[in-house]
Chains A and B, each alone.
Chain A
Amino acid sequence: MPGLTRESNLNNSSLQPGTEEHIPPGRSLWADGIRRLRKQRLAVVCFWIIVFYLALAAFEWIAEARKWESPAFIRWNEIVGPSYQKPMVPYEWTTADGKTEIRREWMGTDFMGRSTFRRTLYGAKTSITVALCASLISLAIGVPLGAAAGYFRGWLDELIIWLISTLSTIPYLLLLMAFAVVLRDKTVFGLELRGITSVYLAMGLTSWVGICRLIRGEFIKRKESEYVLAARATGCSNARIIFSHLLPNVFHIIIIDLSLRFVHFIHAEVILSFLGLGETDKPSWGAMIDAARAELARDVWWEMTAATIAIFLLSLALNLFGDALRDCLDPKLRVD
């Protein structure tokens, strides 16, 4: 790690007596980056927004897996009012056990009378699952290929470059849709591709090119750097150099790329839902926006608005945070 090498330099120098007090304490790249990040108030706010969304998704996920019934907001499928109840307007409602009460649903209800608020919260789980799985798949393909191409060069590099150029020659949306439409309702290696599985698979399989290219470039650059040459001189194997010297050093690039890519996946889910290629049974933001297309005609604007705001906040936070992260962790990539 650059941090590590820097630290060892510092340690060397600190051995010299009498100079200690003039040298600031050493900081790793990460510590340094995070310190700088903390100073940006906007980035910190964004960070907590992202954490909130992730926690919400995780909570919904656990609640579903454990079949929890409370708190109330996880029961997205419960009918809480009449069909298309307006937000904030009080209404009379008879519950299953016969009690009649005056209620107020602050984001309104959908066609079956289910709470838009609860469905929007649940949508976080769907969208984040899609984006997370797609990211993992694209990393799992992109990083090893990029690393191998950049480190070994030669015919392997040629082959991977060919793959990259082929994929990036096809317009991304076309490629994504082609994958999504072909993968739907297929069984691949015993895995049934239903609903969002085919969505994130299609996204993951088509989006690894960017990260692959980045990693390859970094590897080519760093392969000849002093610390790698030093490692090689001490007799480290290729695997050791890649895994314990090179990969940790490009990790921040992966993180930055990931935070920005996440946004693309969330937006892509909306488009795929519109095309009828998305999640079907459970609420997702894409499906909610798609539903709103027809519902706006009867002035049902709340479903669409709730989903749009949910996406907007998360995307904004991710975008701003990703930019800040890049500026702080990798000043060379810094653009402004």
Chain B
Amino acid sequence: MKKRAVQVRLAASILLVLAACLPAGCRRRSDSSASERMVIRVPMFSKIQTLDCGNLTDVYSIGVASQIYESLYEYHYLKRPVELVPLLAEDMPDISEDHLTYTIRIRKGIFYHDDPCFPDGKGREVKAADFVFALKRIANVKYMSQRWTDWNGRIVGLDGFREYTKSFRRESDVDYSVEVEGLRALDDYTLRLKLTKPWPQLIWYLASAVTAPVPREAVDYYGKDIMYHPVGTGPFRLKVWERGFYIELVRNENWHGGTYPTEGEPSDWENGYLEDAGKPLPFADAIVYRIIEEFQPAWLMFLRGDLDIMQIFKDNFAQAVNPDTLTATPAMAERDIRLLVFDDPSVFWIGFNMQDPVLGPNKPLRMAVSRAVDRQAAIRLFFNGVHKVAHGYLPPGLEEYDPNIVHTDYAKYDPAEARALLQEAQRIHGGSIPPLTIAIPGTSNLDRQIGQFLQKYLADVGLQLRVDYMDWPTYLDGLNKGKLQIFFSGASPSIPDSLDMLMGFCSWNWGYGGNHFFYSNPEFDALYRQAEPMFPGPERTRLCRQMERIMLEDCPAVFLNHRVAIAIIHGWYKNAKPHEFSYNTAKYRRIDLEKRNRYKELLNELKKKSK
């Protein structure tokens, strides 16, 4: 009996220890919805990977990092078409005659966030050398930045620097003091860039958080962990980051300041986007990002007023949106919930591998696939009929988008013609077409539904389709090495420039360069070379549209749809004008606290009324 008691005690003490561990993981946080602080609460549907500016790739990471970092230029918040204005730069760059040398003056009196990496914990002033350092760091092969492809072969001497870094063992061993001819700080406030060839798009890249200045101190102090310790100059700084769940940014009290723009589009007055004109920024005291990977809980949190903004997804659409007018349903309007509908430049497609022995030499076969897919039906089923049919490749929202393309029949759904084309294809192939295989990245329910949809429509015209639901790395590897026969993919331009999109069809960009179609057309290549050095203008637009048509004729892909984004916001969320390319917009947002605090009462009233 006694020994048994010992066992009982042992078990009890183990459980006690366990119980003691509990509070450590789940302390109660101060209530972020406290009514007097202006806190913006935003849902995020994916984890963010890193807050290290030199390696930002996914939109979620960029979305958070852009509030913390600032770069030389930024997008004007209200003006459309988009326009750049100086941010950390004194003025727009001084560009030489030959378009190769950029001289940029940097504003004085810009300070980094206070951070322990600085000698006395006080943020120091930003110097031109910090910009040089940031770019050299991206070039450092040991840093393994995913952004190097943007800069590859662009700046005089930077590729040499990359070669040089290969001789080191670790990132931190690399000596950054080596001069790069095309990337120099002439003095503390002057930066000079020299390009290998004209690169009109450079300016857009200088408006991205990726090229924000980085203090050397932070890199040395944090090493690899700099991804959790962003040190920037922006209006907000990182306070809490519980990876995968919660991010809180708070106002940077040492911010150099800024004011709300005073001019914009004519409609901005009506929409109330100019009510705060001239007022000092930022408005919010803090921004809270809740990472919620399932849509449904996020939607319910939004309805309860725990989030200020939300996305429309496939399954809450009917509840929130009147499909005919794309406005909020009465139930939403009652709660003063509003919709923001805008073109989100993007395009999705089914790509063909042009090197595939079956598809490559058989244009009628590719055309048959194109005619067999009912894009309208796909948009109805998967995107609630909101997205636009992609008649071509370049998405609306880009200057070079051709409005006339809707009159072409590249996106026609015609099963009869598809069957006829298939006959022709079989003749070329010399026999019946073997089953085709499409690779879809992901195994989620939506991915499977898309796969089944395509199978169904191709089967209708007599084509067998096998669907490979791949995980992301297998898919990427297959894409880059040309191992996939057909693939489901999409793109949205990160800068407002069509050449960046068209690059994916140049023959020198096969595989890792982004041409996953392994498409090659000398005529297309020549036009691209011609347009490459041009600054935006009618001639360039003409060339881009011409390239698009040439490519569409060859049918290397079935273009499906352009996304139309619908954001849904509470009435108290002010200055929420959507911007297709700019991310550093949190500083403009304002919360009508009084309205927000009344929301609970409003809900109660509505409940009573419905009874």
Contacts and interface: CB of A to CB of B under 8 A. Distances in A.
A and B touch in the complex (CB under 8 A): yes
Interface of A: 77, 79, 83, 111-112, 184-185, 194, 276-277, 280-281, 287, 290-291, 293-298
B470 interface: yes
Contact of A112 (B314, B315, B442, B449): B449
Contact of A184 (B314, B442, B455, B471): B471
A294 B314 contact: yes
B378 to A, nearest CB: 11
Contacts of B449: 111-112, 291
Contact of B295 (A77, A79, A290, A294): A294
A294 B445 contact: yes
Contact of B456 (A77, A185, A295, A298): A77
Given A111-B381, A276-B444, A297 B315 contact: yes
Nearest to A278: B443
Given A280-B448, A281-B467, A294-B296, 11 more contacts: A77-B456, A112-B456, A276-B442, A277-B443, A280-B443, A281-B451, A281-B455, A294-B295, A294-B446, A298-B315, A298-B319
Given A281-B455, A296-B296, A83 B381 contact: yes
A242 to B, nearest CB: 41
A291 B445 contact: yes
B413 interface: no
B299 interface: yes
Contact of A290 (B296, B316, B445, B456): B445
A257 B299 CA distance: 45
Contact of B318 (A184, A194, A298): A298
A280 B299 contact: no
B453 interface: yes
Interface of B: 294-296, 299, 314-316, 318-319, 381, 442-446, 448-449, 451-453, 455-456, 467-471, 474
Contact of A294 (B315, B468, B470): B315
Contact of B453 (A112, A276, A294, A296): A112
Nearest to B465: A281
Given A83-B381, A185-B471, A293 B445 contact: yes
Contacts of B445: 287, 290-291, 293-294
Nearest to A113: B381
A81 to B, nearest CB: 14
Contacts of A194: 468
B295 A297 contact: yes
Contact of B452 (A276, A281, A295): A281
B458 to A, nearest CB: 13
B78 to A, nearest CB: 35
Contacts of B294: 293
Nearest to A283: B452
Contacts of A83: 381
A85 to B, nearest CB: 14
Task: Output the residue of A184, A194, A295, A297 with the most chain B CB within 10 A.
Answer: A297
B381 A112 contact: yes
A130 B469 CA distance: 19
Contacts of B319: 298
Nearest to A291: B445
A51 B445 CA distance: 31
Among all A-B residue pairs, the 4 with the closest Cβ atoms: A276-B443, A297-B315, A298-B315, A297-B296
Nearest to A297: B315
Contacts of A297: 295-296, 299, 315-316
Nearest to B449: A111
11 contacts: A112-B452, A112-B453, A185-B471, A194-B468, A280-B443, A280-B448, A287-B445, A291-B449, A293-B445, A296-B296, A297-B315
Nearest to A181: B471
Nearest to B470: A185
Contacts of B314: 294
Given A295-B315, A297-B295, A298-B318, A280 B467 contact: yes
A169 to B, nearest CB: 19
Contacts of B318: 298
A99 B294 CA distance: 41
A287 B445 CA distance: 8
A169 B190 CA distance: 63
A277 B295 CA distance: 21
Contacts of A111: 381, 449
Contacts of A280: 443, 448, 451, 467, 469
Contacts of B474: 185
A287 to B, nearest CB: 7
A296 B296 CA distance: 9
A184 B381 CA distance: 29
Nearest to B478: A185
Contacts of A277: 443
Contacts of A287: 445, 448
A317 to B, nearest CB: 29
A83 B314 CA distance: 13
Nearest to A194: B468
Contacts of A79: 456
B23 to A, nearest CB: 26
Contacts of B295: 294, 297
B87 to A, nearest CB: 40
A23 B448 CA distance: 65
B541 to A, nearest CB: 40
A67 B198 CA distance: 62
Nearest to A274: B445
Interface centre among B294, B319, B452, by most chain A C-beta atoms within 10 angstroms, is B452
A113 to B, nearest CB: 9
Contacts of A281: 451-452, 455, 467
